[in-house]
Structure 1
Amino acid sequence: MAETDRTDERLEAFFEAARREPPVPTEALLARIHADARQVQDVARPVAAQVPRVPLRARLAQALGGWQGLGGLVTATAAGLWIGYAGIADPASYGGDILGLEPIASVELMPGTEDFAALVVGE
């Protein structure tokens, strides 16, 4: 069975003696510790290589694909702004001129949605 008595009178005398006289390191021990510390400090440590800091603008340009990627993005942005500002009245008419087709008056992208809209609105 396990001993449940947590007070051990036999060891208490040793603990009391240790509390009265705390251990003090000898001069020889302290000298050895200091000599060991000096020896460790004298060892040359390798210096970490200095990594050059890359500016945020350069890191962002590289993340987008360098100057080629940035050129493509600028071109697409300029074309999008021009198309948005100029407005294309009838995009089908441009293709009709090239291919010799007649322009389409309107395009039904989602046929049958009028019935759904009437149900939602309640008309």
Structure 2
Amino acid sequence: MTDKQQDSDGLEAFFDAARNTAPDPDAAFMARILDDALSVQGEAVAPPRPATKRDGFFSQILRGIGGWPALTGLAAATVAGVWIGLNPPAAVSDQLASLIGTSSATTDATDSDWLLDPLTEYDIAMTGG
């Protein structure tokens, strides 16, 4: 037997005794609880009435995305994305140019014509691909 089993065997008698005896609360204590509950029950407040003014569309959207802090974060991310998209850092341009196999210097339109897709999304959808 391990030490844990010996400890649990010694305590098992106490656990069984605790499970078998249910403590009964004192009658005076129960009377005080009942008096307190009845006094509070008479002071019940009516539920608040719903607001008559309906929230506008923007207010509902704002509440749906998480309020003003979330809207501020989304606006900052949008501005940063537009800024980086319109004026990418040189490292991004160089990396993209090396990835697609062109030089980072300005190229003729004929060199990069193969990058254009001759099929639009509509054409691809109509062909089932």
Question: For the pair shown, which has the larger CA radius of gyration, 1 or 2?
Answer: 1
TM, length-normalised to structure 1: 0.34
